[in-house]
Amino acid sequence: MRPARNALTAGAIIAIVAGLTITAAPAQAATPATGTRCAAGTLSVQTLETGCTATSGTVVTPDGRTFALPAPGESVMASSTSAPGTPELAEVVVANNGTAGVAVRVDDAWRGSAPAVQQERAQSAAATTQAAPAAAATTKCTSTAWEQAGYRWAKTVKWYYNESGQKSTYAKNALRKAANTWTGTISSCDRSVTSTASNGYLRLATQKPNLTDKGGCSGNNGYSVMGWGKLPTGTLGVTCVWYDGNGNAREADQRYATGFKWSSTATCSGSRFDTQAVATHEWGHLYGLGHVNTGTGQVMEPSGGYCQLESRTLGRGDMTGIASLY
């Protein structure tokens, strides 16, 4: 029996190899040469402009922040909120487009590998046309302006909270309320919209959010963790979201700044930031919303002041945005 079985196996292998050779031959002729691999380690924007490819490494943005390179086919975006009168931390996207190389966006400027930049520009142009045009309205409940970040969740956001370093008691409850502000039936501005965005708080965690002290995004680990830590001067919070080439988000981490005084109670007074108000903004980023600069008091305006309790509730643009995405 044994010799016969070996002979059969050998025959099967030969058949498969032959089959592969036949189908692969025409494709090989049409495939362009793949980009060279980037040198291991730190990846500056200048290095990425050579069009090199990488599966790991650390990207350094022009403002000196570091981002762990996402896996090929994946991107990470960092969005933040700042205190009034302080320089806003740039919005950053690091997109690893595999053989097309790596593209980096700092605010509105794309840099890096030319083919990857081209792909990302085409994608965001397509996305922008879906957003509602900014109406010339002047109040929180008349402006329908909103922006999309470029990703959304096809599933419930399951998340953990790390209370290490938290600057106010009940911060976890404030975050939970903020997360739920964008889900289900949302009533604000004398109207209601429905959103299928959903989140589920799991439990306290000892893992840290994957963010750096400068507000960059470090390597993702599959756990969405919200917590506290150092951030650049004037930055209240940063949200990092990791997503695939189809814009499907898979992980999000948030860090709230320990360099400020915070309040997490129903009322708020003095030189404190309201955790729920700032977290509502950060959760807006998490679900897929970008900044609007309408000056009408939308939650997604780029900065927020002391005890800005009105940002616990959505404006009409915020409602329009979340109901459009979900």
- Site of interaction with Zn ion (CB under 5 A): 79, 81
- DSSP class per residue in 265-280: SSS--SS-EEHHHHHH
Q: Which is nearer to Zn ion, 54 or 256 (CB)?
A: 256
Q: How far is the CB of 302 from Zn ion (least distance, A)?
A: 6
Q: Minimum distance from CB of 262 to Zn ion (Å)?
A: 17
Q: Compute the least distance from the CB of residue 148 to Zn ion, in Å.
A: 13
Residue number with CB closer to Zn ion (176 or 285): 285
Q: Which residues contact 246 (CB under 8 A, 6 or more apart)?
A: none
Helical H runs in 52-151? Answer: 114-128
Report the alpha-carbon distance of residue 152 to residue 249 in Å, rounded.
6
CB of 162 to Zn ion, least distance (A): 21
Task: Considering the complex, state which of residue 95 and residue 238 has its C-beta at the smaller distance from Zn ion.
Answer: 238
Residue nearest to Zn ion (CB): 81
Q: Rank residues 79 and 143 by Cβ distance to Zn ion and give the closer one.
A: 79
In contact, 257 and 230? CB cutoff 8 Å: yes
Three-class secondary structure of residue 19 per DSSP = helix
Determine the Cα–Cα distance for residues 155 and 45; give it in Å rounded to an integer.
Answer: 33
Q: Which helix (H) or strand (E) holds 10?
A: helix 2-30
For the residues of 174-243, what is the DSSP string, one character each?
HHHHHHHTTSEEEEETTEEEEE---EEEEEE-SSPPSB-TTS-B----S-EEEEEE---TTEEEEEEEEE
CB of 81 or CB of 96, closer to Zn ion? 81
CB of 77 to Zn ion, least distance (A): 11
Nearer to Zn ion, 43 or 274 (CB): 274
Calculate the CA dihedral of residues 92, 98, 99, 102 and round it to 10 degrees: 10
Coil, helix or strand at residue 11: helix
| Residue 211 φ/ψ, nearest 5 degrees | -130, 155
- Beta strand 249-257 with 199-204 is unpaired
Q: Which is nearer to Zn ion, 79 or 254 (by Cβ)? A: 79
Shortest CB 285 distance to Zn ion, Å: 5
CB 239 to Zn ion: min, Å? 7
Q: How far is the CB of 278 from Zn ion (least distance, A)?
A: 9
Residue 31 or 86: which CB sits closer to Zn ion? 86
d(CA 119, CA 116): 5
Query: Radius of gyration of the chain from Cα atoms?
Result: 23
